[in-house]
Amino acid sequence: MDIATLIGLVSGTGLIIWAMTSRVSIDTFVDIPSVAIVIGGSIAASLISFPLRDVAGVARVVKNAFFSKSHDLQKLIGDLVSYAEKARRDGILSLEDMTGEMEDEFIVGGIQMVVDGTDPELIEQIMANELDTMSERHALGKALFDTIGRYAPAFGMIGTLIGLVVMLKNMDDPSAIGPGMAVALLTTLYGALLANLVVLPIADKLGRRSQEEMLAKHIILRGVMSIQSGDNPRTVEHKLRTFLPPSVRQTTLRPQEAAA
């Protein structure tokens, strides 16, 4: 689980609730019709913007913000370099025995094509196409949350306008103006909270997750192509470490491995 996402949601919600209850009862900020307008309206707008199957899969997308396998790029590069060293020492076909140890299916698919003697250009094309498809899936999930985050404040304002119209229709009772105005403003509050505390931060987290995964896949793609071309393990390592910030680059090969 991504503890940062959980801490952010819990701490943000806690601060809001503390601010609400520091002077008045929490009941002051509860209005069911306002909640229905903001949440229901945002979902309705999303259904208009996206196919039903995409909106129905929102729970799966949310899961990626909380539960996502982290990518240890140092280990990934070390594994690819070890594959390059074995291929250089024992031949490309020897890698077939190692596919059962590989955790990433993207690596397995690439190495299997190398072992099968697939044309290098075709290998790169197939793996690049898979990356493009993955990027599109990730972009769709983020776009869905960006859309909800864009519409939620708008429906909050719509709810406020509805409340103001109702309030102005009953101006004959001055004592009801204050409470009516408070209820009218609640939908704006709900829309702002939904967008800025939940939906848009999740969209940003999904974007970050996508960047991390795409980086790992690009490293795998370059590693597989280097192995296929028979590069020296040291060369493979240098190529792959260019994907990392200079501050975290470090060598994993021993001198005897580099000379293999």
Full-model pTM = 0.81
> Are 136 and 154 contained in the same domain?
yes
Range of the domain at 9: 1-30
> Are 59 and 154 contained in the same domain?
yes
Measured distance CA(134)–CA(143) in Å, rounded = 14
Number of compact structural domains in the chain: 2
> Are 20 and 50 contained in the same domain?
no
> Are 43 and 23 contained in the same domain?
no
**Token reading at 92:** 């490309």
> Are 51 and 177 contained in the same domain?
yes
> Are 110 and 150 contained in the same domain?
yes
- In the chain (260 residues long), the average pLDDT of successive 10-residue segments reads 84 91 86 91 93 84 77 89 91 88 90 93 95 91 93 93 83 72 86 94 91 93 93 91 78 46
> Are 121 and 135 contained in the same domain?
yes
The angle, 0 to 180 degrees and rounded to 10, between the axes of the packed helices 200-228 and 233-241 is 160
